Chains A and B, each alone.
Chain A
Amino acid sequence: MSDTRPLIEMKNIDLIFGTFQALKDVSVSFDSGELVGLVGDNGAGKTTLIRILCGMHAPTNGEVYFDGQKINRFNPRLAIDLGIETIQQAVGLCNNLSIARNFYLGREPVKRRFGLPFLDFEKMRKKSESVIREFGLRENVSADDEVEILSGGERQSIKIGHAVEFKNRVIIMDEPTNHLSVREREHVNRLAVQLKEQGLLVIYITHAINQVHGISDRIVILENGEKITDIKSRDCTAEELINIIRHGGRVGLAENRG
């Protein structure tokens, strides 16, 4: 928040898949050192919006700026290079790979022998194990075990641990507390705040308004592909937000307070 210019600016974003319009004229910006809650009912377009930011979709219309630079190409490699890490719901782990291999997928550490790149298994194992144990991996599971055998919560832990380990400038969390116990959830939420305090931008998608209201600086509500609310958390209550979502955006905050 020391920069006058927002870290990410999205202007008039449309995203159309064939005949279906997922995002309609959405404009929103995000700053470093901010925790923004992105909320809305199912199908509102939250995941779609962040998929643009992590490079998996290109907007049909509109512009995206990162650190003042216009983004012309959208692919995950670029997003990662810009410093955007994501915890996604449907995607993020390969069942057929071990924990260690999943952890380092895309940025495998190598030891060179005769000039050829060989995977540095020792580093992969040690680092991934230590990070993930922090997030609740069972004692009898090792980094060489296949992800396939893990429970939902453990898989989530790997995704979170991975994002934390490779954090850079932006962390996007799409329903990060899925499958987690109450204690684990609190851990994740504390973590999100810590990351924000370290100066990162944290975008937090969730259905749990009460949870995110307490930890966020700002709330953005999407409904049917449109942004209907963008307000600082301290300027509203969680109940007001829930009310807006329940009524599909047909009730504004002004009416709420009336």
Chain B
Amino acid sequence: MTASSYKQFFRQHHEILVVGVAIVLVALFVTISRGMWASPYNLASILQVTATLGIMALAESLVITSGEIDISVGSTFGFSAITYLGLVPHLGSAAALIIALAAGFGIGALNGFLVVWFRLPSLIITLGTLLIFQGLCIAVTAGFSFSIPWAHRKNFVYQVLGGGNFLGVNTAVFWMLGLFILFQMILFAMPYGNRLLAVGGSSQTAHSRGISVKRVKFAAFALCGLLAGFAGVLEAGKLGFADGSMGRLMELQAIAACVLGGCALAGGRVSILGVLMGTFLLCGIQSFLVIMGVQPQWFMLVLGIIVVSAARADRVFRDWVLRGA
């Protein structure tokens, strides 16, 4: 390939950067930890965390691609988790799932409605819903015990939804992979995806072509809420109990994963593989620090540095790729 066609490939596939970094870091991790990092048990636990965070990051990436932002996904996650756990003993896993998903979808739809209909800044609106549902989560769990009695934990549906393992890993991992494949199709091989990317790239142009920017953005928010709710259900299934602090700070990690994965914060550019790699990288780095005995106190600092470095690296990469085009 000629030099210019290399650059062209990189331009269209930003995630090359994060995949490359991931490969390098994985090699480093395995070497430095003398294989401990890559032990089956450790990898399984990394994958487990990657699964729920990955679905959250996927949800967030939809909204970011449309040119908006949703910082309430953590609260939606927690609220759906609590709803699910609260209802399983009474209604069974299947019904509880449906109601929990409806709750997630509802929160996303509420966000979408307020942002799109009233033309209000998404940061503020989703800050509002973050607070509303976080408060509700805390209020509902205060004084209530939200754990699943053993009888229900053996239920098949419950197991499928994160309560059990399949091929040695938590079922959530398979749900994540399935969703990622599904959304790769939706975003890049279906009309909705084309329009979502267009809205994020130039909403005026999309509008001039007769696309309903309102409907596209509303759908993005609603899907985001639905996915975040599903992630909450899976996590609740895995843990078997919930408290009011579930999901706190998860939105920040989800956004971080998107940034790592090469999503343009202004919208219009996204890579499913990138989001997956970004999430995996975040969880992998955290696991590595644990193995190396780094005290948990350093995590936040490290996370902050990682995100800034990733954003900067992406910017530098982008400038390089656009030069001489």
Contact = CB atoms under 8 A, between A and B. Distances in A.
Task: Report whether chain A binds chain B.
Answer: yes
Interface of A: 54, 56, 75-77, 79-81, 86, 88, 90-97, 101, 104-108, 110, 116-119, 121, 145-146, 148-149
10 contacts: A56-B208, A77-B210, A95-B202, A96-B269, A106-B210, A118-B189, A119-B189, A145-B8, A148-B322, A148-B325
A56 B198 CA distance: 17
B208 A91 contact: yes
A105 B185 CA distance: 17
Given A146-B11, A146-B12, A92 B194 contact: no
Interface string B183-194: 001000111001
B209 interface: yes
Given A106-B210, A116-B190, A117-B191, A93 B202 contact: yes
B154 interface: no
B317 to A, nearest CB: 15
Interface of B: 8, 11-12, 185, 189-191, 194-195, 197-198, 200-202, 204-212, 264, 268-269, 322, 325
A77 B212 contact: yes
Contacts of A148: 11, 322, 325
Nearest to A51: B208
Q: Tell me the dominant secondary structure on chain B's binding face.
A: helix
Contacts of A118: 185, 189-190
Contact of A94 (B11, B191, B268): B268
Contacts of B210: 75-77, 79-81, 106
B206 to A, nearest CB: 7
Contacts of A106: 195, 206, 209-211
A61 B164 CA distance: 65
A86 B201 contact: no
A81 B210 CA distance: 9
Given A118-B185, A119-B190, 11 more contacts: A77-B211, A79-B210, A81-B210, A94-B202, A96-B264, A97-B201, A104-B194, A105-B195, A107-B209, A119-B191, A148-B325
A149 B325 contact: yes
B325 to A, nearest CB: 4
Contacts of B189: 118-119, 121
User: Top 7 closest A-B pairs, CB basis?
Assistant: A106-B209, A77-B210, A94-B201, A96-B201, A96-B268, A108-B191, A149-B325
A91 B205 contact: yes
Given A96-B197, A97-B198, A105-B198, A54 B191 contact: no
A170 B141 CA distance: 62
B194 A97 contact: yes
A80 B210 CA distance: 7
Nearest to A140: B4
A104 B191 CA distance: 10
Contact of A105 (B11, B211, B322, B325): B211
Contacts of A110: 190-191
Nearest to A76: B210
Contacts of A86: 208
A254 B189 CA distance: 61
A128 to B, nearest CB: 13
A36 to B, nearest CB: 21
A149 B10 CA distance: 13
A205 to B, nearest CB: 15
A92 B197 contact: no
Query: Among the interface residues A54, A76, A107, A116, which one has the most CB atoms of the partner chain B within 10 A?
Result: A76
A27 B189 CA distance: 46
Nearest to A110: B191
Given A110-B191, A119-B191, A149-B325, A92 B208 contact: yes
Nearest to B192: A117
A56 B206 CA distance: 11
